[in-house]
Amino acid sequence: MVRPMRPADLDEVMWIERRSFSAPWEESTFRGLMRRRSAALFVAESGDEVIGYSVLWFAADEGELGDIAVLPEARGRGIGRLLLRESIKVAVDRGARFLYLEVRDSNAAARGLYEKFGFSIAGVRKQYYTGPAEDAIVMRLDLQDAVR
């Protein structure tokens, strides 16, 4: 159900990305990350349809969850949880100590998901987002706690 993202998935990924974010990434960003060994990209599949994805990258002992989204019609069914579980697993496998992410202050669904996995608030970037302007909450998961 969760597998590495391939270039052939990008039409479906971009459809979800554009419907999920007010400032969606460009397709070239996904393509570029897919070529980087320091990045990991996953899709969640139902039948042969891509219904969600997550994107991470790693540097030193830190990982960053750069993007995660689920097709609007498929939300609330545990797909985000599956993708985050796989993302945490790959971060542990690659030897990261911490996994970081940024989330809009008002994004209750995403914050609820992250808190469920043990992420805690590490800081606030004031007015980090535009369209609409909003603070970013920086969250961090200590992966030693996650695997214990």
Ligand X SMILES: CC(C)(COP(=O)(O)OP(=O)(O)OC[C@H]1O[C@@H](n2cnc3c(N)ncnc32)[C@H](O)[C@@H]1OP(=O)(O)O)[C@@H](O)C(=O)NCCC(=O)NCCS
Residues designated catalytic: 102, 114
**To the nearest whole angstrom, how small is the minimum distance from the Cβ of residue 139 to ligand X?**
9
Widest Cα–Cα separation across the chain: 41
Q: Which residue number places its CB atom closest to ligand X? A: 80
85 is an interface residue for ligand X by CB under 6 A: no
Count Cβ atoms below 10 Å from residue 130 Cβ, excluding itself. 9
Does residue number 112 form part of the binding site for ligand X (CB under 6 A)?
yes
Three-state DSSP state, 89: helix
Q: State which of positions 19-78 bind ligand X (CB under 6 A).
A: 20, 68-70, 75-78
User: What is the C-alpha to C-alpha distance for residues 55 and 63, in angstroms, rounded to an integer?
Assistant: 10
Q: DSSP secondary-structure letter at 25?
A: P
Nearer to ligand X, 49 or 95 (CB): 49
The residue from 46, 105, 109, 124 that contacts ligand X (CB under 6 A) is 109
Kind of pairing, strands 98-104 and 62-70? parallel
Q: Which residues of 85-107 are buried (b: 16+ CB within 10 A; e: fewer)?
A: ebbbebbbeeebebbbbbbbeee
> What is the closest distance, in whole angstroms, from the C-beta atom of residue 78 to ligand X in the complex?
4
Using CB under 6 A as the binding rule, whether residue 125 contacts ligand X is answered as: no
Question: Which listed residue (29, 66, 92, 107) binds ligand X by CB under 6 A?
Answer: 107
Check if the beta carbon of residue 100 is closer than 8 Å to that of residue 140: yes
| Closest distance of CB 30 from ligand X, Å | 15
Residues that bind ligand X (CB under 6 A): 20, 68-70, 75-81, 103, 107-110, 112-113, 116
